[in-house]
A and B are shown apart, each in its own frame.
Chain A
Amino acid sequence: MNRSSNLDTVAPDDKVVEVKIIKSRSPVDPELRQKVYQILGKTKHPLSSFLVRPHVFTFKEKDEEEEILVAMRPHWMTNVGWILIAAAMVLGPTLLKSVALLNGLPVKYQILGGLFWYLVTFAFAFEKFLSWYFDVYIITDERVVDIDFNNLLDKKFSEAKLSMIQDVTSRQIGVAQTMFNYGSVLIQTAAEVNELRFDNIPNPEKVVKVLKLMREEEDIEAIEGRVK
């Protein structure tokens, strides 16, 4: 007798129920995790460069049970330079008109030139904003992630497990970094990517402390045999 391989034809009335198992990962040491949360504090506004335990923010490679502790972007001070340049570019044609430099050109050239100039200005500002917005450094309870968007044709994703981190160094150079409390964090790892660099991030010292505590948590997990 021929047997059907399709179970629906054997018992078509039975409901097919998909069982989705979601592993919940409770922290191995809740006190240690509370300490991490306390150090990180809270996010001040949605466009902040330091998003603590964000609800909306996520990234493609994130595991379902993975918790984002903090997502960082370069400090807002790093945007001041290009904002000033963009403002000067916006004012450029008006200044040229005021000194009657463009008046000799036919009107159609002025219209087209003006539109082109403002489009280029917009593209410049937009590209700079995108470079800032998509330049993200993430610390989860499992790993550190660096997503770089240097320009429109250069993007990079690198990550390292917390258990692989060997050394963490923070550095703040210059007046602006000291005044506004931002700087670089250099993470040396035993992973394939042997160095991760978080540039111009706010609160670099907090990040170093958090990474130290999270490494302790990973060590405890390793002892208890919970590391994936």
Chain B
Amino acid sequence: MFGVENVLTITVKVMAVVGTIIYFIFSLVVVKQVTAMSHNVKDKFNGILIVFSYIHLLFSVLLMLLAWMLL
């Protein structure tokens, strides 16, 4: 029932999901920091940087969902 292959698959899945969750937290920190720094230092490209940080966050959510569904 619990063959070596099964255990390996579950281990890989758990590691991937935990890893992507940690990455998601990291991307949240990125959004928070970019917003905070844009508040401190205002320049022409702040808006673009905030948009990029949110796109990064979106992709990290996608990665988390993919890790859950695919593996």
Contacts and interface: CB of A to CB of B under 8 A. Distances in A.
A45 to B, nearest CB: 11
Given A59-B40, A119-B63, A123-B56, A111 B70 contact: yes
Nearest to B37: A134
B43 A119 contact: no
Interface residues of A, number: 29
Interface string A41-74: 0000011000000101111100000000000000
Count chain B CB atoms within 10 A of each CB in A54, A115, A149, A155 and give the residue with the most: A115
A56 B63 CA distance: 37
Contacts, number: 77
Given A119-B60, A123-B27, A152-B30, A157 B66 contact: no
A149 B34 CA distance: 11
Contacts of B52: 126
Contacts of B63: 112, 115-116, 119
A108 B71 CA distance: 7
B40 A112 contact: no
A112 B26 contact: no
B39 A123 contact: no
Contacts of B39: 60
B26 A157 contact: no
Interface string B44-71: 1100010011001001101100110011
A127 B30 contact: yes
Nearest to B70: A108
B29 A130 contact: no
A60 B42 CA distance: 8
Nearest to B62: A115
Interface string A128-152: 0010011010000000000101001
B59 to A, nearest CB: 6
A126 B30 contact: yes
Given A59-B40, A157-B40, A112 B66 contact: yes
14 contacts: A108-B70, A109-B71, A111-B70, A112-B67, A115-B59, A115-B62, A115-B63, A116-B63, A119-B23, A119-B56, A126-B30, A133-B43, A133-B49, A153-B33
Interface of A: 46-47, 54, 56-60, 108-109, 111-112, 115-116, 119, 122-123, 126-127, 130, 133-134, 136, 147, 149, 152-153, 155, 157
Q: Which 9 pairs from chain A and chain B are nearest by CB? A: A108-B70, A134-B37, A60-B40, A57-B43, A58-B42, A152-B33, A56-B44, A59-B41, A46-B44
Given A116-B23, A152-B30, 7 more contacts: A57-B44, A58-B42, A59-B40, A60-B42, A112-B67, A119-B59, A126-B53
